[in-house]
């Protein structure tokens, strides 16, 4: 954790605006340079999850990462968040090497990670409270975000009393309430039904539009990634590395259900699928090989 | 109105009332079943007590050794109305309860604190793990005579035996609970800005409470055993002393009467714990099949 105040990027932004171009504003939001991660398996062998990752996410950019299941997408996010350290290469956030958890990063997990013993309001208050914000102010900010995700009426419920979509909204509010510069999302909507997923995607775009934060959105759903992102990163079959990066030139603001029907969307889809499909096939064949 | 008499013109209404009737019939069936279960339980009790009484009176079993329900009941009545040889019955119960409760609280607090600490701090677990295992392997009830020598005939020696019996189950459950906390929840809390201390107090401990509560139920029984055994070996007051005194005067009815009293005390304590647990776990989804 960066307890050193001089390394605080927001401090740097104010103290050195006119001297040497501040690293803070000129550097991209996220930069991976040859980053790799190997886990030690219980048997003691090394298992490479990701390797040679080179990736740049600009400020305010919405980047979607697609790749076959198990290729290493989640691992990539944990490297950026600081939950795990890379075993190779470098991971930079706002020009600084990641060391521990960065307070400017928000993370929406694939599985439910709301605290089941806290009410909805208390869950959204958790972030500010953990960061030492006074209770009254935390409550006010939490109520504001609950209103934005449409859960005001559910403030006093416990998570088990909500639907899956509502729980995801709680997770979104709990993440946005901390005002993250960088938003990492790990297949956040994969557990939801199709209609709810489209609805949540639109809501996410609305919420994001107001913040100017940079987003890395991991998914295995290619349609979702094109509908949401400025840039789609295709990863190879595991151990993953970046295979290709596609720029999505669809105009914003977008509505995911409508954008899907545009001819340009279909064109882009076909183009990316020709790249991704191959990796998916490789993964599938490997799976079949294991099963055999 | 029997259904065969309804004309076709009011069939929909009939269908509705038919459904209502079925709901009612189902509710009635449930009520019947409940009554049947309770009735059968009573019948089993009556049968066992009746057979016991009958066998003892007809001399099939030796009433001197096995006593009989009516004598036990007389003994309880006598103790309640005229007090025991050691003083009023209430005082004996209070002493045992006091020792058990005191030992239970100390054992629970120590078990929870050490269990969480070792569960959270790998280093402590590595250092103390083997010692805990060795101590757990000892048959701890044999410590009761040693405590009698150390702490004398008063309550302290009983409290000590209750503590050693309570500590281990609570410790192991708290340890396991702290170990098995959902990694996602911990990761989420850290991303939201929680320090290690906050993670322990606001994530690990709440998540481990259901584990800890499981052990609280069992361990109160252990606390009573500790207190009773301590009293049985040597004491000036308590239910355990009633047992040993009755045994000393070959009063089998006294021994059984003390056991009945002990069972009632244990059941009441169990009921209190269950009540407390329900209050504390409002955030948990109801178990299927229970109303809330
Ligand atoms: N903590 C870990 N320990 C060991 N292996 C891991 C760990 N986390 C992930 N892996 C392995 O790394 C690979 C990539 O996993 P992950 O990043 O979760 O894939 P994805 O998110 O793309 O489905 C998988 O083979 C997985 O088994
Ligand atoms: Mg994943």
Alpha-carbon dihedral sign for residues B130, B132, B135, B137: negative
Token pair belonging to A95? 């020009």
**Overall size of chain B counted in residues:** 292
A88, A207: one domain: yes
Q: Which protein residue has the closest C-alpha to ligand 1 atom 15?
A: A72
Print the domain residue range for B85.
68-280
Out of A154, A179, A204, pick the residue that ends a domain: A179
B50, B183: one domain: no
Render pLDDT for B113-145 as a digit per residue (tens, 0 to 9): 999 999 999 899 999 989 988 988 888 888 899
Per the prediction, chain A carries an average pLDDT of: 87
Full strand arrangement of the beta sheet holding A96-97: A46-57, A30-40, A88-93, A96-97
A281, A209: one domain: yes
Q: What is the mean pLDDT of residues B84-101?
A: 90
Out of A124, A145, A179, pick the residue that ends a domain: A179
B30, B141: one domain: no
A96, A206: one domain: yes
Residue A242 pLDDT grade (very low, low, confident, very high; cuts 50, 70, 90): very high
- What is the C-alpha separation between B190 and A172, in angstroms, rounded? 16
Residue B216 pLDDT grade (very low, low, confident, very high; cuts 50, 70, 90): confident
- C-alpha distances (whole Å) from A47 to each of A181, A226, A249, B237 are 32, 31, 37, 65
- What is the C-alpha separation between A281 and A279, in angstroms, rounded? 5
How many beta-carbon contacts under 8 Å exist across A and B? 62
User: B289 lies in a domain?
Assistant: no
Out of B58, B79, B94, pick the residue that ends a domain: B58
Pocket test for ligand 1, best of A70, A84, A219, A282 (most atoms within 8 A of CB): A70
B150, B95: one domain: yes
Q: What is the pLDDT of residue A25?
A: 63
- Report the percent of chain A where pLDDT is more than 70: 90
A167, A277: one domain: no
B211, B181: one domain: yes
User: B290 lies in a domain?
Assistant: no
DSSP β-ladder status, A30-40 and A88-93: antiparallel
Q: What is the mean pLDDT of residues A247-254?
A: 91
**ipTM confidence score:** 0.85
- What is the C-alpha separation between B163 and B103, in angstroms, rounded? 5
**In chain B, residues 209-248 whose CB comes closer than 8 Å to chain A:** 209
Flag whether pLDDT at B210 surpasses 90: no
User: A240 lies in a domain?
Assistant: yes
Render pLDDT for B15-64 as a digit per residue (tens, 0 to 9): 667 788 888 999 999 999 999 999 999 999 999 999 999 999 998 888 88
Flag whether pLDDT at A234 surpasses 70: yes
Q: What is the mean pLDDT of residues A212-239?
A: 93
User: A83 lies in a domain?
Assistant: yes
Render pLDDT for A56-77 as a digit per residue (tens, 0 to 9): 999 999 999 999 988 999 999 9
Q: Write the secondary structure of chain A as one string of H (helix), E (strand) and C (coil).
A: CCCCHHHCHHHHHHHCCCCCCCHHHHCCCEEEEEEEEEEECCCCCEEEEEEEEEEEECCCCEEEEECCCCCCHHHHHHHHHCCCCCCEEEEEECCEECCCCCCCEEEECCCCCCCCCCCHHHHHHHHHHHCCCCHHHHHHHHHHHHHHCCCHHHCCCCHHHCCHHHHHHHHHHHHHCCCCCEEEEECCCCCCCHHHHHHHHHHHHHHHHCCCCEEEEEECCHHHHHHHCCEEEEECCCCECEEEEEECCCCCCCCHHHHCCCHHHHHHHHHHHHHHHHHHHHHHHHHHHHHC
- What is the C-alpha separation between A58 and A213, in angstroms, rounded? 10
Would you say B122 and B278 are in contact if contact means Cβ atoms under 8 Å apart? no
User: B124 lies in a domain?
Assistant: yes
Domains identified in chain B, total number: 2
A150, A192: one domain: no
**Could you tell me if B194 lies within 8 Å of chain A, comparing CB atoms?**
yes
User: A14 lies in a domain?
Assistant: no
B26, B89: one domain: no
Candidates B184, B282, B284; nearest CB to A113: B184
Distance from CA of A272 to the nearest CA of B (A): 32
Which ligand lies nearest the alpha carbon of A70? 1
Q: What is the pLDDT of residue B7?
A: 53
Q: What is the pLDDT of residue A156?
A: 94
B106, B148: one domain: yes
DSSP 8-state class, residue B180? T
Question: Of A122-126, A181-185, A210-214, B224-228, which gets the smallest average pLDDT?
Answer: A210-214
User: A199 lies in a domain?
Assistant: yes
Flag whether pLDDT at B269 surpasses 70: yes
Q: What CATH number is associated with residue A89?
A: 3.40.50.300
Q: What is the mean pLDDT of residues A235-259?
A: 91
Domains identified in chain A, total number: 2
Q: Which protein residue has the closest C-alpha to ligand 1 atom 17?
A: A72
Look at A6 and B86; give whichever has higher pLDDT. B86
Look at A3 and B188; give whichever has higher pLDDT. B188
Would you say A227 and A218 are in contact if contact means Cβ atoms under 8 Å apart? no
Residue A210 pLDDT grade (very low, low, confident, very high; cuts 50, 70, 90): confident
A185, A170: one domain: no
Flag whether pLDDT at A23 surpasses 50: no
Pocket test for ligand 1, best of A35, A37, A39 (most atoms within 8 A of CB): A39
Alpha-carbon dihedral sign for residues A245, A246, A247, A252: negative
Flag whether pLDDT at B1 surpasses 60: no
A278, A264: one domain: yes
3-state secondary structure of B83: coil
- What is the C-alpha separation between B129 and B4, in angstroms, rounded? 75
Token pair belonging to B181? 């906390």
* CB of A72 closer than 6 angstroms to any ligand 1 atom: yes
The Cβ of residue A186 has, within 10 Å, a number of other Cβ atoms equal to: 22
Print the domain residue range for A78.
30-104+181-287
A160, A189: one domain: no
- Report the percent of chain B where pLDDT is more than 90: 59
Q: What is the mean pLDDT of residues B5-24?
A: 67
Token pair belonging to A152? 């005001």
Q: What is the mean pLDDT of residues B157-178?
A: 93
Using a 10 angstrom Cβ sphere, with 0-12 exposed, 13-18 middle and 19 or more buried, the burial of residue B189 is buried
User: A25 lies in a domain?
Assistant: no
Using a 10 angstrom Cβ sphere, with 0-12 exposed, 13-18 middle and 19 or more buried, the burial of residue A17 is exposed
Question: Of A61-75, A121-135, B206-220, B277-291, which gets the smallest average pLDDT?
Answer: B277-291
User: B291 lies in a domain?
Assistant: no
Per the prediction, chain B carries an average pLDDT of: 88
Q: What is the mean pLDDT of residues B141-154?
A: 91
């Amino acid at each position: 954790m960066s307890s050193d105040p001089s390394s605080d990027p927001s401090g740097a932004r104010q103290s050195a605006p006119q001297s040497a171009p501040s690293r803070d504003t000129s550097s991209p939001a996220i930069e991976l340079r040859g980053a790799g991660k190997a886990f030690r398996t219980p048997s003691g062998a090394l298992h490479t999850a990701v390797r040679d990752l080179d990736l740049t996410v600009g400020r305010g950019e919405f980047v979607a990462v697609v790749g076959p299941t198990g290729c290493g997408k989640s691992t990539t996010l944990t490297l950026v968040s600081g939950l795990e350290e890379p075993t190779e290469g470098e991971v930079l956030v706002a020009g600084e090497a990641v060391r521990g958890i960065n307070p400017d990063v928000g993370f929406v997990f694939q599985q439910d990670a709301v605290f089941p013993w806290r009410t909805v309001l208390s869950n959204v208050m958790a972030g500010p409270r953990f960061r030492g914000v006074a209770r009254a102010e935390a409550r006010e900010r939490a109520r504001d975000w609950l209103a934005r995700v449409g859960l005001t009426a559910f403030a006093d419920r416990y998570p088990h009393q909500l639907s899956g979509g509502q729980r995801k909204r709680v997770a979104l509010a709990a993440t946005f309430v901390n005002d993250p510069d960088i938003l990492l999302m790990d297949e956040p909507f994969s557990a939801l039904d199709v209609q709810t997923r489209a609805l949540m995607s639109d809501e996410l775009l609305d919420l994001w539009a107001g913040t100017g934060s940079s987003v890395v959105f991991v998914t295995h759903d290619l349609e979702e990634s094109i509908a949401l992102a400025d840039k789609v990163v295709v990863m190879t079959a595991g151990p993953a590395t970046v295979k290709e990066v596609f720029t999505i030139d669809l105009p914003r603001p977008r509505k995911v259900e409508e954008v899907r029907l545009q001819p340009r969307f279909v064109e882009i889809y076909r183009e990316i699928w020709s790249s991704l499909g191959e990796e998916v096939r490789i993964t599938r064949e490997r799976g079949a090989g294991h099963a055999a | 109105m029997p259904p065969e008499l309804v004309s076709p013109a009011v069939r929909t209404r009939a269908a509705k009332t038919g459904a209502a009737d079925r709901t009612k019939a189902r509710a009635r069936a449930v009520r019947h079943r409940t009554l049947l279960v309770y009735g059968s339980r009573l019948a089993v009790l009556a049968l066992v007590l009746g057979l016991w009484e009958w066998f003892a009176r007809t001399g099939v079993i030796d009433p001197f050794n096995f006593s009989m329900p009516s004598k036990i009941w007389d003994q309880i009545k006598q103790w309640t109305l005229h007090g025991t040889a050691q003083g009023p019955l209430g005082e004996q119960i209070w002493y045992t309860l006091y020792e058990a409760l005191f030992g239970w609280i100390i054992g629970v607090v120590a078990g929870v604190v050490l269990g969480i600490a070792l569960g959270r701090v790998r280093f402590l677990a590595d250092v103390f793990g083997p010692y805990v295992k060795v101590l757990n392997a000892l048959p701890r009830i044999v410590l009761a005579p040693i405590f009698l020598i150390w702490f004398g005939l008063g309550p302290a020696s009983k409290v000590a035996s209750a503590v050693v019996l309570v500590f281990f189950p609570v410790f192991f459950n708290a340890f396991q609970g702290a170990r098995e906390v959902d990694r996602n929840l911990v990761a989420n809390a850290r991303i939201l800005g929680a320090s290690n201390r906050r993670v322990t107090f606001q994530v690990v401990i709440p998540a481990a409470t259901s584990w800890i509560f499981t052990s609280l139920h069992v361990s109160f029984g252990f606390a009573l055993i500790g207190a009773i055994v301590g009293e049985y070996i040597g004491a000036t007051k308590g239910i355990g002393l009633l047992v040993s005194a009755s045994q000393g005067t070959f009063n089998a009815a006294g021994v059984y009467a003390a056991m009945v009293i002990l069972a009632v005390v244990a059941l009441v304590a169990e009921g209190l714990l269950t009540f407390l647990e329900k209050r504390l776990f409002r955030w948990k989804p109801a178990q299927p099949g229970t109303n809330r």
